[in-house]
Structure 1
Amino acid sequence: MASSSGPLNEELQCSICLDVFTDPVTTPCGHNFCRTCLSKCWTNTQTCFCPFCKETFSRRPDLKINTTLREVVQHFKEKLDLGESEVFCDICDERKQKAVKSCLMCQSSYCDDHLELHLRVPRLKKHTLINAVENLEDYICQKHERPLEMFCRDDQTCVCLFCTEGEHRTHNTVPIEEESQEEKTQTDEQQMIQKRMKKIQEIKHSVKPRKPITSNDSFLTSSRTVHISNGMIIGLGVLLVAVLIIFPKQYTKCSSLNSLSHTKNWTEISSVSDVYVLKRALTELRKTHETLNEKISQTGLKFVQKFAVDVNLDPDTVNPYLILSDDGKQVSHGHIERNVPKNPKRFDYTVCVLAKQGFSSGRFYYEVQVKGKTGWSLGVARESINRKGEIILTPDNGYWTVWLRNENQYSARDDPSVSLSLRVKPEKVGVFVDYEEGLVSFYDVGSRSHIYSFTGQTFTEKLYPYFSPGLNDKGKNSKPLIITRVY
Structure 2
Amino acid sequence: MSAASCLLTEDQFLCSICLDVFTDPVSTPCGHNFCKTCITKHWDGHEKCPNCQELFNIKPELWVNTFISKMAAQFRQSAQQKASSSSSEQRVSKPGEVPCDDCTGTKLKALKSCLLEETLSKQIKKLLEVELKRVQQYAVDVTLDPDTAHPALILSDDGKQVNCGDAKKNLPDNPERFDKCVYVLANQSFSSGRFYYEVQVKMKTKWDLGVARESINRKGNITLSPHDGYWMICLRNKNEYYACAEPPVRLSLKHQPEKVGVFVDYEEGLVSFYDVDAAALIYSFTGCCFTHKLYPYFSPGLNDGGKNSNKQLNICRKIHIIYCNKCIFIDYIWFAHCCFFRF
Fold shared per TM-score above 0.5: yes
Counterparts of 2:222 and 2:193 in 1: how far apart (Å)? 27
Q: Which residue of structure 1 lines up, in the alignment, with residue 66 of structure 2? A: 163
- Structure 1 residues 468 and 295, CA, compared in 2 at 3 Å: closer, same or farther? same
C-alpha distance 161-370 of structure 1, shift in aligned 2 (>3 A):
farther
TM-score by length of 1: 0.41
Aligned partner of 1:371: which letter? Answer: K
**Partners of 1:337 and 1:424 in 2: CA distance:** 34
Q: From 225, 228, 242, give the equivalent of 1:397.
A: 228
1:399 maps to amino acid: Y
Partner of 1:464: 295
1:485 matches 2:336: no
Q: Output the CA distance in 1 between the equivalents of 2:226 and 2:19.
A: 39
CA contact (8 A) 1:346 1:387 kept: yes
Find out whether 1:448 has 2:279 as its counterpart. Answer: yes
Counterpart residue identity of residue 203, structure 2:
G
Measured after TM superposition, the shift of residue 299 of structure 1 is 3.1
Deviation at 1:167, TM superposition (A): 4.5
- The change in CA–CA distance for 1:311 and 1:414 in structure 2 (over 3 A counts) is same
- Give the AA of the match of 1:403: C
Q: Against the structure 1 CA distance between its residues 335 and 434, is the aligned structure 2 distance closer, same or farther, given a 3 Å change threshold? A: same
- Note the 1:363-374 alignment, pairs <5 A: 363-374=194-205
Contact 1:305 1:486 in 2 (8 A): no
- Cα distance in 2 for residues equivalent to 1:340 and 1:484: 27
Structure 1 391/169 Cα, relative in aligned 2: closer, same or farther at 3 Å?
farther
Q: Is the 8 A contact 2:214 2:293 kept in 1?
A: yes
Q: Percent identity?
A: 61
Using the TM superposition, give the Cα deviation of residue 473 of structure 1 relative to its aligned residue in structure 2, in angstroms: 1.6
After superposition, what is the alpha-carbon deviation per residue over 1:44-94, rounded to whole angstroms, capped at 9, x for unaligned? 99599xxxxxxxxxx9xxxxxxxxxxxxxxxxxxxxxxxxxxxxxxxxxxx
Counterpart residue number, 2:270: 439
Q: Is 1:414 the equivalent of 2:317?
A: no
TM-score scaled by length of structure 2: 0.58
Q: Secondary structure at the match of 2:284?
A: strand
Alignment of 1:314-329 (within 5 A): 314-329=145-160
What is the Cα-based RMSD across aligned positions, in Å?
Answer: 3.0
Deviations 1:212-254 (A, max 9, x none): xxxxxxxxxxxxxxxxxxxxxxxxxxxxxxxxxxxxxxxxxxx
C-alpha change, 1:170 and 1:391, in structure 2 (3 Å) is farther
Counterpart position of 1:385: 216
Structure 2 distance, partners of 1:440, 1:370, is 19
Query: Runs (4+) of structure 1 moved beyond 2 Å?
Result: 43-48, 166-173, 294-300
Corresponding pairs, count:
217
Mapping 1:12-31, distance limit 5 Å: none
Counterpart CA distance in 1 for 2:162 and 2:73 is 35
Q: How far did residue 369 of structure 1 move?
A: 0.3
Which stretch shifts more, 349-358 or 471-480? Answer: 471-480
Q: Deviations over 1:15-53 (max 9, x none)?
A: xxxxxxxxxxxxxxxxxxxxxxxxxxxx999599xxxxx
Note the alpha carbon deviations across 1:178-213, whole angstroms, 9 max, x for none.
Answer: xxxxxxxxxxxxxxxxxxxxxxxxxxxxxxxxxxxx
- Partner of 1:305 in structure 2? 136
The Cα of 1:172 is off from its aligned counterpart by: 7.3
How far apart are residue 469 of structure 1 and its match? Answer: 0.2
Q: Distance in 2 between matches of 1:416 and 1:355?
A: 26
1:353 and 1:412 map into 2 onto residues whose CA distance is: 19
The amino acid that maps onto 2:170 is N
CA distance in 2, matches of 1:484, 1:161: 32
- One-letter amino acid of the counterpart of residue 277, structure 2: G
Residue 399 (structure 1) shift = 0.4
1:169 to 1:371, Cα distance in 2 relative to 1, 3 A: farther
Distance 1:394 1:359 in 2: 19
State yes or no: 1:330 paired with 2:233.
Answer: no
Q: Relative contact order: is structure 1 or structure 2 higher (C-alpha 8 Å, sep ≥ 6)?
A: 2
The residue correspondences of 1:205-224 to structure 2 (distance < 5 A) are none
Structure 2, unpaired ranges of 5+: 1-14, 22-35, 38-62, 76-124, 320-343
The CA deviation string for residues 300-327 of structure 1, in whole angstroms up to 9 with x for no partner, is 3111101100010000000000000000
What's the CA shift for 1:162?
3.7
Q: Which amino acid aligns with 2:313?
A: L
Aligned 8 A contact 1:374 1:405 in 2: yes
Question: How far is the alpha carbon of 1:472 from its aligned partner?
Answer: 1.0
SS at match of 1:323: strand
Change (3 A) 1:361 1:330: same
In 2, the alpha carbon distance for the partners of 1:420 and 1:399 equals: 18
Say if 2:173 and 2:179, in contact at 8 Å, map to a contact too.
Answer: no
Say if 1:300 and 1:449, in contact at 8 Å, map to a contact too. no
SS for the counterpart of 1:299 is: helix
Rate the CA distance shift 1:172–1:418 in 2: closer, same or farther, 3 A.
farther
Q: Which amino acid counterpart does residue 419 of structure 1 have in structure 2?
A: R
Write out per-residue CA displacement over residues 406-435 of structure 1, whole angstroms, 9 at most, x where no aligned residue.
Answer: 000000000100000000000000000000
Q: Secondary structure at the match of 1:301?
A: helix
How far does residue 171 in structure 1 lie from its aligned partner after superposition? 8.5
